[in-house]
Amino acid sequence: MTSSFQSPFQEDVNISTIEMHTAGEPLRIITSGFPQLNGTTILDKRKYLKEHFDHYRKLLMFEPRGHFDMYGVLLVAPDVDGADIGAIFLHNEGYSTMCGHAVIALGRYAIDHGLVKNPTSPETRVGIQCPCGLVEAFVEYQPGGSGCEEGRTGAVRFQSVPSFLFASEAVKSTVSISHPDSDDLAFLYGTIITDGKDAFSDKVTANVCVFADRQVDRSPTGSGVSARIALQYFKGHIGLGQSRTFESGATGSVFTAKAVQEVTCGEFKAVVVEVGGKAFYTGGNTFTLEREDTLGHGFLVQ
């Protein structure tokens, strides 16, 4: 019997990755074997990847190499001043515009793998261009070791693009979403379930973030706590520089976060939020695909 299966890959595949986690949430960093992306800007490259190479996302995020809640990142050349690296994020549904846990891990990865020249102690700045814009990470740096030994604390803080309260309605269908910078950023990405302690600024507050296609974040979620800080700030529960601790309802891991500056984003009042956490290495892989392996192209059991 002749199989009708048509592989989207033209040849056998070999892709190398470095594996990390931030507060329990995995990050698969693609280091080699991925095709070149066309495009001038990072949003152009993200669109090109989605339209032409989405089968690579499924190959690396789905089973048998990944799982329903796997998360990954592809490094690309940045196209804005101040960026050391560019990052396109991958998950079970598609492509994030921002990912805080990935930024924390990438900050450490960039130092350890020589992507930032002349790192300084006790902290080194790493500029990471995400699809949402330039994010600045500050990595605790301990010179004198080799490779990942130099960043053994794993501690990273980052300041993201402005966060703002777009609307406080609870029903998605009643809100028409827009973004002042790009229509590519105008969508509802996730839902955060909290313990209701927004107004209790002196207490640790827990949350669980469900994003993409029902993917559950193991960490407190960097972009999620940025959104919660913006909400609490504009409701008057916290002030500038007032730090809060956010706990993951899934693993008990924690991030700290605070609003450090009030700015504007288009017509919206916004805040720059600083988030802190730790990232660690878990290993490395070389993944292969034989074109005749139909299951090896990726599948999900839900």
Dist. CA 167–CA 299, nearest whole Å: 36
Q: What is the dihedral of CA 124, 128, 134, 140, to 10 degrees?
A: -30
Q: Kindly state the tokens that stand for 289.
A: 């695909």
Q: Based on the residue annotation, tell me whether 99 is a catalytic residue of this protein.
A: yes
Dist. CA 33–CA 196, nearest whole Å: 45
Burial class (CB in 10 A: 0-12, 13-18, 19+), 111: buried
**How many C-beta neighbours within 10 Å does residue 53 have?**
16
DSSP structure class, residue 183: G
Dist. CA 125–CA 131, nearest whole Å: 19
Q: Kindly state the tokens that stand for 86.
A: 């560019």
| Active-site residue identified among 99, 130, 209, 265 | 99
Which positions are annotated as active-site residues? Answer: 99
